[in-house]
Amino acid sequence: MILSDRDIEALLRLGELVVEPLFDDTVRENGLDLRLGRQYCFLRPTGRVLDPRSPGDPGEFYECGEADEIVVPPGRRVLLHTLEYLKLPGYLAGLVNLRSTWARTGIYIPATVVDAGFEGQLTIEVVGSEFPVKLRPGERFLHLVLVRLATPAAKPYRGLYKGQRGVRLPKVFELFGVVG
């Protein structure tokens, strides 16, 4: 079942669902509008193979930083994050969509699911359009549809991305002691 604005507001009041910061226009008819954060990591074009068992230096694969404006060049991929920090209970999962205004610019995000019990800022991949698109931190960018599970997850999310803030690189770098 997809949660309505009334369901979401009730969960926020009870503290079952946490969204920080929470803006007046965050809760929508059937989900949450989430804002863009300041950090980015562009995927670098390279001929080097990323071996998950021996990933090497993340700087060979990612160019990361912070900015007040992020221009996504045509066809390029960039990791971005939400301004909001979320805490989902073990009985809610989330489906991440690009807000339609941004989809109409031609940028794209792959299908992304937020697991039940997840906590943290979301890291999201954005794929560039046919022309450069300028993004600004603080703008409403994603729409998160919250779905109630038929039964609470037996094992709510406890992975390496729990509690993340900012853009988080793939866990292979952390598993082998390399930090991005």
Tokens for 6, please give them: 């009334």
State yes or no: pLDDT of 180 exceeds 60. no
pLDDT of 113 > 90? The answer is: yes
Query: DSSP 3-state assignment of 11?
Result: helix
- Assign residue 174 a region (left: φ > 0; alpha: ψ between -120 and 50; beta: otherwise): alpha
Enter the CATH code of domain 5-175.
2.70.40.10
What is the distance, to the nearest Å, from the Cα of residue 167 to the centroid of all Cα atoms in its chain? 8
Residues above pLDDT 90, as percent of the chain: 91
Return the pLDDT at 175: 60
pLDDT of residue 176: 53
The two three-digit tokens of residue 147, written as one number: 């779905």
Contacts of 46 (CB under 8 A, 6+ apart): 60, 61
Break the chain into its structural domains and give their ranges. Answer: 5-175
The residue ranking higher by pLDDT, 97 or 174, is: 97
Q: Please give the backbone phi and psi of residue 100, each rounded to the nearest 5 degrees, phi first.
A: -60, -35
Each residue's pLDDT tens digit, 56-99? 899 999 999 999 999 999 999 999 999 999 999 999 999 999 99
AA letter at 57:
D
Which residues are known catalytic residues? 125
Residue 177 has pLDDT above 80, yes or no: no
According to DSSP, the residues that pair with 35 across neighbouring strands are 140
